[in-house]
Amino acid sequence: MEAKNSLFMLLLLVIICNGNAQLYLSGGPKSNYTFPKDFLFGVSTAAAQIEGAWNEDGKSESIWDHLVHNNPNFVKDHSNADVAADSYHLYKRDVEMIRELGVDIYRFSVSWPRVLPTGFANEVNPLGIQYYRNLIDELVKYNITPMVTIYHWDLPQKLQDIGGWTNAHIVDYYTDYANVLFKNFADKVKYWITFNEPMQTCLEGYGGTYRAPALNRHGIAEYLCTHNLLKAHANVYHLFDKQYRPLYGGKIGMSLDSNWAEPKTNSTKDIEAARLYLTTHLGWYAHPVYSTEGNYPPELIKLVGQKSQKQNYSRSRLPEFTPSEVDFIRGTADFFGLNHYTTYLLSMADKEVGAIPSHANDVGIIRVQDPNWPSKSSSDWLKVVPFGFRRLLQYITKTYNNIPIIVTENGYADFSGVDDKARVSYYGHYLNALLHAIHVDKSNVHGYFAWSLMDNFEWDDGYVSRFGLYLVDFKSPNKTRTAKHSAKLYSSVVATRGLPADYDPADFTAFSSAPILVSTMLPLLALYRLL
């Protein structure tokens, strides 16, 4: 009898632990809080992913056009973005969808090669300017606030031919480009983002081969790219601040991508690995702009310098900012744009990591994901870990002096279909975590943008992965858009400023029929505190 009682108690404990694990994973119990009245709800897109019309009306070739046209095997389904969702011709339908959702603000990007086909400001394409003016006017007509991303990965190929972001003169070329946009649109655009996910641009596009231009110059090109990009960001911020803000008002920042870093175990080494990951990845771009001290994170400077010396380089592969450049870059943002999707487990490497030299090798940490974390996503990396979202928001608030945060991207990928239960569940869990972040943790979050308004060309995934709130029938002549169930959920949250009544924070069945087990040591310790 005693043995049976012990077994019963053990089973009961497993059931209780699993229930609490689900609540832990979701970021907390269901929140009865609501989003503030002035909280911004929006949706995001990018020109290269939705516009199509890749060579119409004077637009020149972008680095993504060049990459996929010359390397069709780069994309999973061998597709390209020549037509995509055809938003160049269907922008009025896009605005109609935004109105249906009831959101306050629409974040879209401008295509540099559409506005400046040569890459330089000596030739401004009037048809490109007119397209964006039409889109902005259509938004303003319905009281939807435009948020413009100046650069979302589609550099003119003509500039890439002369070095792209590794050419120091790109700072001036980019400033000239931004000035053209400010001159034409600053009277109606009140939110600007200089760069979307610069780490993807530099680390994956110049250091690696995951993004255009896929240079594969590890350990060199990503650092040169970053150095020029941060200077360009600061240049444009100061241009806006001095010449356009006094006339029209408005705010300007940048959108950085970051996963949350959870230690793989509760060991001192793994805790240090998680901290180091945030410092040398998110901090690589955030520290120069948002920290009190400015400059690259001291640990990144030290690590790259030491590795460079061991590899017999005459100087660090990480370029140095002068003291005046540090001052010029520091504080050049009115808000912290955050793109977040998932969480990783971090540990210290016990041997050389990746290519030598490379940023990964310089830092020397390993990231993995817990196989028990739920996901049925079409993107293998997109595990559903809402507690990581909450923790990251708290980390940014504490680390970067309570800077206002706008979540400029958050979303979920599936394979297609209107009945997108997994995406509905994802948004429920992440918005629940966001409410806890705002009201319990006092994270300074001012806005949230769902990625994405509609299905699009998802870079190397082509049209296999779908992130949209609206289904796009890419085979139809009119690229028919249809609201998914997730669009209805999001519009409900926007209208009520709260979660739906039937949301269950312990329900992860949309992702997996198997029990949700949290198998890492730190989550188990947190569960222990809950019990």
Residues annotated as catalytic are 197, 409
How does DSSP classify residue 401? Answer: T
Distance of CA 367 to the CA centre of its chain: 18
CB atoms within 10 A of CB 484: 24
CA distance 350 to 519: 22
Alpha-carbon distances of 302 from 316, 477, 487, rounded to whole Å: 9, 55, 47
Per DSSP bridges, beta strands 260-263 and 343-348 are parallel
The residues near 442 (Cβ < 8 Å, ≥ 6 apart) are: 397
Q: Which residue has the tokens 């990625």?
A: 451
- For residue 19 the two structure tokens come to 């229930």
The DSSP code sequence of 178-213 is HHHHHHHHTTT--EEEEEE-HHIIIIIIIISSSSTT
**449 pairs with which residues across the strands?**
42
- For residue 94 the two structure tokens come to 């896009």
Q: Which residue has the tokens 């983002």?
A: 193
Q: By the 8 A CB rule, do 376 and 415 touch?
A: no
Q: Please name the amino acid found at residue 520.
A: T
- For residue 507 the two structure tokens come to 């329900």
Q: Please name the amino acid found at residue 335.
A: F
CA distance 528 to 234: 46
Burial of residue 3, with CB atoms counted within 10 A of its CB: 0-12 exposed, 13-18 middle, 19 or more buried = exposed
